[in-house]
Structure formats: structure tokens, C-alpha cells
Structure 1
């Protein structure tokens, strides 16, 4: 069936299937459908009457707790603009919360199948997602390329699971060792124990922040995770040599990392994997610092405190190391790490001031796809803003349109910052356009399936 005929037929069908107008929909003729998959996951779909033939399969970020709603767009403002543009929007809740990649990928593919059964075959299918949903999206791109035409990751964990948990271990290890805490970092028996450990180490960090030596050591912990010095919405952007202001911003981010990821989310992931998936055996912390994006700040704060950085790095390198459970690593590697083997175009976008999923994850993705020979299919772009996933609707639409042009023309074009900002302004002149030229430093603890030496 030709595209125009199919869209007209679908539009007529929608009038009989609509259960309710979608929230944020462009008009009351938009079909809104909620359903449940055999896995128990719920799904949601919003399809405008004047569907343009493109379906966007949205993968949401990490969810915890009892609330686990299906999502088909990153935010209401972007959703409204997409529906006005004629895009069909779909997405699932995933059957479980937490590090649920083994549920998320099949649930997303089942949602796509349910959409096709109900509304017909799309002329173009794009997978996209934010944060943890960027990991899910990249997994779909590698494992189910025949089901999609391209993918868009926004602020994604595109370094993969093993790399993520190794890199999350390092700042906690630095804090525990140099601030004298005895909290367990891995093999946490349950969420209560994880919360207790997080609270204990956070209190230790709070106390250390009151001294120059403590502030220097917190900065060192931030550096081995590449936590940027400007990392939260509304935060003042420090001057290039305002080391104290830089560290104050990182201090808040370090506490956030401890509260969010380093213990509770780790424990949930360990429970799925059947053991500890992280290690720092063989890690040279002096080498890690030497490759960090904020090493100069650390050096200056240690000098100001009259503290020996060399001695602290030696103490870290002498400290008892953490070994991983090989079976747990194998599970995390098989389910959540990447080969870098793209067969369809992918655009990956990141804010430069992301503390939770640092922008250096893009370096890890580039490393994998380059080793796999897929680099021509990948483009990366950067937004000059602080915080995790703090994109404007305009910036998200600009990325989507750039990916669409790649599919239409067969080549990447107009993906430089000026062109992306022009796309953003054209898509939504009411919200910011802040794409910039940026080259992230290396990811400090890479692990991917394209590098056999990573599997140690």
C-alpha cells in the first residue's frame, strides 16, 4: 500500500479505535491507547489522526519503587510538539523496575509489534530513549536492527553496564579509603543495608567537607568519575580557576551519586546478576587521575590544603582491592555491554555538565563502534548545559530531525552545532538551542565487547 493511502486508511481506523484524547495531544483526534503485554508490562500509544508514517519507540530511564508508568515521550512539551508534527509515539513501562534490560528490550519490541498489529506498518521506525533508556535504545539498535531504521540516545548510559558499575565503584572506593570509612561497597545483602551504607558514607563526606584536606579528597573522588565542576540546573558556572567553587559543586554531585547509584541501585543490579559485577584489581588511580577532565582542580586543591597527592594516590594503590564475581560479570556483560556493531545510523547526544552519567560515556561509545568498524554510522552531539538530561524540547527535536535527514539522504549532514541550533530554533523558537562543539576526554574505565582485553 502506498504511503498516502496507508496514512488515510489509518486515520479512518483511528477514529473508531480512540479510547481517549492523549494528554498534551495536538487535537482531540489523536488516538490514545493503553494496554498490557503478556510480561505484565503496560504500554501507551499516542497516534495523531494525520500520522506522518513515522513511529517513535521511546525507552524511559531508570525507575525504582512501586510507580512504573509506561512512557512514550521524554516530557509533555516535547510530546506535544511531536504529535503536532504527526509522529506516532509508543513506549512500555518494562515488566520490572531497576536494572531491567532483560525485560526492557523484549517489552519494547513487543510494544512495537502491538502497535503494528493495531495501526499498521510504519514507513519509518526510530528507537530513542533517555538516560538508562539510552542503554536500552542502544541494546535495541545492536540486537534488533531489522526492526528499526535508526536510533537516538539522549544522555544515555552508552558505556554499557560493566563499565558503568566499575566507574561508579571508583569514587566510593576513594572516599572509603581516604576518609577512613568501613562501609561495604559491594555484595550488599539488601536495600536496607545499601541505604545504611549510603547514609554512613554521605555523613562522612559531609564531615570531610569542613576541612581543606577533606575537600581535596572529595575532589579526587569526583575526578575518578569525571564529575564536572558545573553539573546541576541553576548552579553558578565556576570560573576556570575558581577551585573552591568547582569543588563545592562537585561535593553536592558526589553526595547525589552516593544516594542514587553507588549503593541502592548497585544492590538491585547485583541481585539481578547474582553477585558483584565490579572490580578495581589492577587499577592505577594515579593513571586514572592523569586522564581525568578535572585533574588540574585536584592538584590545586591538594596544594592549597598542604596535602600530598602523591601519598594519597599511593595509599589508594596499596589499599585492599575489590574483586568481581566472574559469573555476575558474565551476566552483566552479556545483557548490558555493547559490541559497537551498528548496522543502522545512531545519533547520541549529551549535556556537557552531567554528573550522574558523565559526558565521557560518549568516548566509551565511540571507542566501541570504532573498534567494531561502525564509526561512519555514529554521530555525537553536545549541549552546553548542566545537569542530567536537561535538554530543551527544541534540542531534542533538532536531534530527531538530524537523524531523519541521515535516513532520507543516506549521509550525515548539518550535524555541526550551528546547524543543530538552527534546526532547534526552527522546531521550537520558545526553548533554548545550545549545541556546542565539544570533545570529551576519555572514559576512565571502558569495557565493551569489541575489545577482548577488557574481559579480565
Structure 2
């Protein structure tokens, strides 16, 4: 017996140390902290709402339930948080928080368990919180999903990852074109280099401080663009959605910013470096004069081909265009952070899969990213709920007919006239409707 005990002791002493265990679900993952201060209850019909906050599966959350809950739930999917190590929670924006509560909806929002461009975290944390809502409040009779920017990527993939789980979806300024967002950023920089004659790819450490100023000088981008600068602006317009109202002021507004997106990767993983999925191998650039950009441009293959092609849920997953519920989207015409072309890519995918009856899209005449008025978002929300309840698809814009999109009044139909005179707006970069 003594020899057996001694042998067991030796084996224990010689065993390798145990790997660090994952913290319990009510704690953030290693490297993250949480900042989710108490949210004061809203007043709904003169009574306070019920607010629940906590941590579930490593993600912070906030849930709010009106005094007379109608049994329906809206999940809010937030946008890109950058490389921050602090997990935070947003309530629904654009006046939606109060609107939802006044209509009897509960809402829930997750920080996701990770930041950076991690759509997988958004898909799983949002779905996990919706299931947790069942335990904390009760099982809703249906669950909607609403979100902004990267949250639109979360929405597009969530509808396919969990088919039938969500009743309807409202992506706002969403990355519905998945990997093609990063193709656009690559196109912007490589086309600028080809047309200017200043080659620098992969972007060196001094890209923004030394290379980009040379490109801008060659193209006249610090003032009135020269002939080659005008060609570059036209290439950008075509790659971001085609000729359309506001394309020229959008280029002037965003050009410096998009150069910066080529030099913002912070690591080797997909979430910290989604640009490794980008390619321009098959891109045809127009106009192709005075510089023959299609001959001169550097062609780049994806660094991570497997991640680009896999159908699996990754940090930057594909969206196949197979929604399983009604989708009503809003997008700013002049947005070049998440360009209007994202809507066109998604529309083509959805139509190819025979699901066009599940998609309605609306163009808004603004240049900012996610620059919507509460009226625009509120009207879209009401129309989405009516669609989900009655099956009657609401009105939308044609997004993939170049002649329609190029019309001077395109985007007027669903743009809020009152927003044109709002302070700090880009609406006045467009002629008034």
C-alpha cells in the first residue's frame, strides 16, 4: 500500500501543470474587463421599466422590460468596438429604446464576449442572451433583431446560423456584403497606388505619414483633383455603389479616412486583421483611363484563403444570402466606411437564392456612417413589425439598377425631410429633395 501511495505521489509531482481554465460564464474572458453601469429605468406610461443587468457566457448584458410586456423581444446588435479590452453595452439607438418599450416590446443587448471585428462573438452572444432572456423573464412569442454597422454582419449571419429563431431583422448601415467590405478597402488603396504611380503594398509602417501624402499629391487630392485624381474618385464611386447622388462630396468627406483603414490591423487573427481575407484578383476597375488601372494595379490574393472560403462561423464569416425571416435595411448613400455597395452585394445573393421576397432596402441621402434620424429608423421599425405580422412586404428602393441609383432624386423617398436642416448633418451635401 505504501509503494502504491508513493508511486501516486510521484506521478502527481511529475505531471505537467494544468492549463489555465476558462473563467466561469459570469466573468469576462482573460484580457477583458466590463464597464456596464446601472441603466436608469425608462418611464413607460408613467411607470418605470424593469432593468436587468449582468454577465452571461463572458459577455455583459442589459435587458429592459416594460410594465405591460407584450411578449415580444428585440435584440440589439452593436457595431465595431475596435481593439478595446473593455466590454460595454449599448441600448438601442435612434430613439428605439423608448419606442420599443412604449409598444410593449422588451429589448436585450449584449457586449459580445470579445471586441475587434468578431462577428462570431456577436452571433453567439446575441443568441445566447436571447436564450437567457427565456430564463430571466420568460419565453417571448417572437424575437426580432436590430443592429448597426458590424451588427448588420451579425444580423445577416444570425439569420442563417439560427434559421427560424428570429422573426424579422432590421440591419442599419450593415456589413451585409461580408468579405467584400475588406475588398473595397483594398481596392481603394491599390487603385490609388496604381493611378498615382506610388506603389506600397503591403502597407509599410510609415504608410500614413510618408506614402499617403505622396499619393495625394500625385492625384491632387489635397485640393481640386487633377485628371488622375478625378479618375480615382470615379473608380471609388463605382466600387462603392456606382454613380449616385452625393458620390462626389462623399469621396471628399471620406478619402483620408479610408486610406487609414489599410494600416489598422493589430494582430494575426481574423478579428484583429480581417484584411487578410481581402482580394482584388478578379476586380475590374472603371473608368480605365487615363491610367490603364486594370493593367497597372497590383493584384492581391487572400492571405487566408481557407477563412475566405469556409462556410463555417468564423470571426469574419460569409453571409450566403439565405435569410430565413423578413429583412428591412437602411443605408446611407455616401457612406464609404461601410459603402452602399454592401446592399447591392446582399441583394444579388438573396435574389440568386430565390429569397427576394424576404428583402426590402432603403437608401438615405446622407454621407456619414449610420447617419439616420429617429424618424427614418422608427418608420422602418414600424414597417418591419407590420411586415412580420401581416406578411405584406413594405416599400423599398431598387438598389442594383445603375440607371435608377444614378437618378438625381434617388434616396429621397425614405429620407426624412426634417433631417436636412438638423445640426451637424451631412444631408446638405445633397441637393434638397
TM-score (norm 1): 0.70
Deviations 1:416-447 (A, max 9, x none): 89xx999999xxx987899xxxxxxxxxxxxx
Of 117, 129, 140, the match for 2:135: 117
The 1:376/1:182 distance shift into structure 2, 3 A limit, reads same
The residue that corresponds to 1:197 in the other structure is: 207
Residues 49, 430 of structure 1: alpha-carbon distance in 2 compared, 3 angstrom cutoff: farther
Which one of the candidate residues 103, 106, 126 is aligned to 1:108?
Answer: 126
Whole-angstrom distance in 2 between the partners of 1:199 and 1:391: 33
Q: Which runs of 5+ in 1 are unaligned?
A: 1-18, 231-236, 239-245, 291-308, 435-456
1:22 and 2:40 aligned: yes
What is residue 156 of structure 1 aligned with on the other side?
A: 174
- Residue 380 of structure 1 and its aligned partner are, at CA, apart by 1.4
Counterpart mapping for 1:49-448 below 5 A = 49-66=67-84, 67-75=86-94, 77-160=95-178, 162-185=179-202, 193=205, 196-207=206-217, 208-209=220-221, 210=223, 212-213=226-227, 215-226=229-240, 247=248, 249-259=250-260, 261-264=261-264, 270=270, 276-285=276-285, 289=286, 310-312=289-291, 314-325=292-303, 326-331=305-310, 335=314, 336-413=317-394
- SS of 1:370's equivalent in the other structure is helix
Of residues 42, 46, 54, the one that matches 1:35 is 54
What TM-score, normalized to structure 2? 0.74
- Distance between the aligned counterparts of 1:36 and 1:266, measured in 2? 27
Q: Residues 226 and 92 of structure 1: is their aligned pair in 2 closer, same or farther, counting only changes over 3 Å?
A: same
Q: How many residues end up aligned between the 2 structures?
A: 365
1:95, CA displacement in angstroms?
A: 1.4
Q: Deviations over 1:161-189 (max 9, x none)?
A: x2221122111001122223343347x8x
Go from structure 1 to structure 2 and tell me whether the alpha carbon gap of 1:28 and 1:364 turns closer, same or farther (over 3 Å shift).
same
CA distance in 2, matches of 1:383, 1:214: 30
How has the CA–CA distance of structure 1 residues 403 and 215 changed in structure 2, closer, same or farther, with 3 Å as cutoff? same
Q: CA deviation at 1:406?
A: 1.2
Highest Rg: 1 or 2? 2
Aligned equivalents of 1:158, 1:430: Cα separation in 2: 28
Bigger helix fraction: 1
Could you tell me which runs of 5 or more consecutive residues in structure 2 were left unpaired when the two chains were aligned. Answer: 1-36, 399-410, 423-433
CA deviations 1:14-46 (Å, max 9, x no partner) are xxxxx96636554562111211122x2211111
Task: Determine the C-alpha separation between the residues in 2 that align with 1:370 and 1:84.
Answer: 35
CA–CA distance in structure 2, aligned partners of residues 315 and 252 of structure 1? 23
Q: Give CA deviations for 1:377-417 in whole Å, capped at 9, x if unaligned.
A: 11112223332211111211111111111121122146689
Q: Distance in 2 between matches of 1:282 and 1:225?
A: 13
Using the TM superposition, give the Cα deviation of residue 267 of structure 1 relative to its aligned residue in structure 2, in angstroms. Answer: 6.2
Q: Retained in 2: the 8 A contact 1:63–1:97?
A: yes
d(CA) in 2 for partners of 1:311 and 1:333? 42
For 2:188 and 2:116, how far apart are their aligned partners in 1? 22
Cross-structure match for 1:13: none
8 Å contact kept, 1:346–1:377? yes
Q: Secondary structure at the match of 1:147?
A: coil
Task: Give the match's secondary structure for 2:289.
Answer: helix
Partners of 1:133 and 1:156 within 8 A in 2: yes
Shift of 1:135: 0.9
CA RMSD of aligned residues (A): 3.5
